[in-house]
Structure 1
Amino acid sequence: AVLYNAWVLEAVLPTGLDPRHSYVSELYAADQPFHLLFGGVEILTALLVATGILAWPPGARLPGDRTATAGRWALGVFALASVADVIVPMRCAPSVNHACEMVNPWHTATSALVHAGLFVSMGLLVAAAVARGGRTRWPPLRRRGPWVLAAALLTALATVGPLFGRPGWHGLPQRAHLVLVGVWLVLLAASLRAEHRTARE
């Protein structure tokens, strides 16, 4: 959750990008001075998410487990696509270089996969949290997950203006979106920790 929001470092690093009007992925565009730093943090975040998936506590068999398993592997797609997002970065930062293409086909495709994996995972895991046959499980995710999912979806949709030739002010909703993803990861970790504790008891 913390590493996924490493973009806050732009407050102290001379990135040359305006956070109001730039995508976070521009921080690790190929021609940017800190692309190795931000790209490396993105990969490290994906590795930590993958580690969490492999260490997923088995718990007891309850209604919704198949949905939870599907959500778990969708989270794996999110992690893998995040690595691909760094491997095929933007060639340059379009918010400061107007000769740079706004839509890089490969990077746009990997970013779409990141969001697909994220939202499918969020939807499935929220569904698994509330479809428990009346039994209480994953209370943090069950209570707050639907609200975080809805807000994350709205902020993500608010970032697509540049893809349709309407750039400007997309940086703020994207950064809000990343904060919400961080909140989501905290809720998920808290829920899984509670499940692991219950399974041990």
Structure 2
Amino acid sequence: MTPAENERVTGADQSDPPRYRRILRWAVAVLIVLAGIGYSSWVLEFVLPIDIDPTTSFLSQLAEHGAPFRWVFTTGDTVSGALLVIAAVGGLTVFARRRYSTIGWIALGCFGAATIADAQAPLKPEDPTSLSDKGLVPQLHQLHALTSSLAVFSIFIAMVAFTVAAFRYRRWPILRHTGLWILVIGSAVTAWMLIADNLSGDYGLGIAQRIQVGAMSLWLVTLGAQIAVAERASGRHPR
């Protein structure tokens, strides 16, 4: 982006947006927060009577065919994915079009779509799913593994893009601090999973995955909260 283009975008941001655009921005923030909460429905495994070891199991096993309460987890992911698709379209519509934030919104929408597909293509219980015996890679022949991989790839692209945008455009301080730390933790845990999967033993991959998905949910809530805080400050101090 050239200095002239940056000045024009900055000037556009500094103008007071119409009331309906501010309402839509608030709606985007709420949708993202709700999606983040819904995407953490897996924590109900610690409340519901489910006989599964969180240290050696995939979260996908909670929603596999025949699993008890699978509807709880598939519903949570489906609703969360739908909310994020809507939020991404809204974000592209009501926020300034900047390179990195645009990439972030598109990636967020892709994450939502992949999450919906993930919920609708559950694991088949007859296939090997034990982390301690088979690891992650042997499941790549399943459609669910493809949708899960696309979801993880998309959310990390979104996290990186929005973080870069927050630093480059000098906006959204919560993302520059809290969001950055969540991204670092999520990336470290993902590296843990990729490395450990190629070693003998499970190395707590079930725990790693739960931390990874928890970081994704927390980052979504952080993004939504950041948008809400920014809009509230804009409303208190109109320019």
Q: Distance in 2 between matches of 1:89 and 1:171?
A: 17
* CA displacement, residues 135-155 of structure 1 (integer Å, 9 cap, x when unaligned): 4x2110012222211110111
1:123 equivalent in structure 2: 160
- Which amino acid in 1 is paired with 2:185? A
* CA displacement, residues 147-199 of structure 1 (integer Å, 9 cap, x when unaligned): 21111011123234457664351111111112211221122112212333455
Is 1:73 matched up with 2:106?
A: yes
How many residues are paired up?
Answer: 194
1:50 equivalent in structure 2: 85
Match of 2:228 among 193, 196, 200: 193
Point out where structure 1 has 5 or more consecutive residues left out of the alignment: none
Point out where structure 2 has 5 or more consecutive residues left out of the alignment: 1-35
Q: Distance in 1 between matches of 2:49 and 2:130?
A: 15
- Which amino acid in 2 is paired with 1:151? I
Match of 2:65 among 17, 25, 30: 30
**Range moving further from structure 2, 165-174 or 155-164:** 155-164
Indicate how the Cα distance of structure 1 residues 78 and 165 shifts in structure 2: closer, same or farther if over 3 A, else same: farther
Indicate how the Cα distance of structure 1 residues 51 and 165 shifts in structure 2: closer, same or farther if over 3 A, else same: farther
Structure showing greater radius of gyration is 2
Match of 2:175 among 122, 126, 141: 141
Root mean square deviation, CA, Å? 2.6
Q: TM-score, normalised by structure 1?
A: 0.84
| Contact 2:37 2:221 survives alignment (8 Å) | no
- Which amino acid in 2 is paired with 1:17? I
Match of 1:103 among 133, 139, 149: 139
Q: Distance in 1 between matches of 2:47 and 2:220?
A: 25
Q: Distance in 2 between matches of 1:43 and 1:113?
A: 15
- Which amino acid in 2 is paired with 1:103? Q
| Contact 2:58 2:129 survives alignment (8 Å) | no
**Matches for 1:175-190 after TM superposition, within 5 Å:** 175-190=210-225
| Contact 1:46 1:80 survives alignment (8 Å) | yes
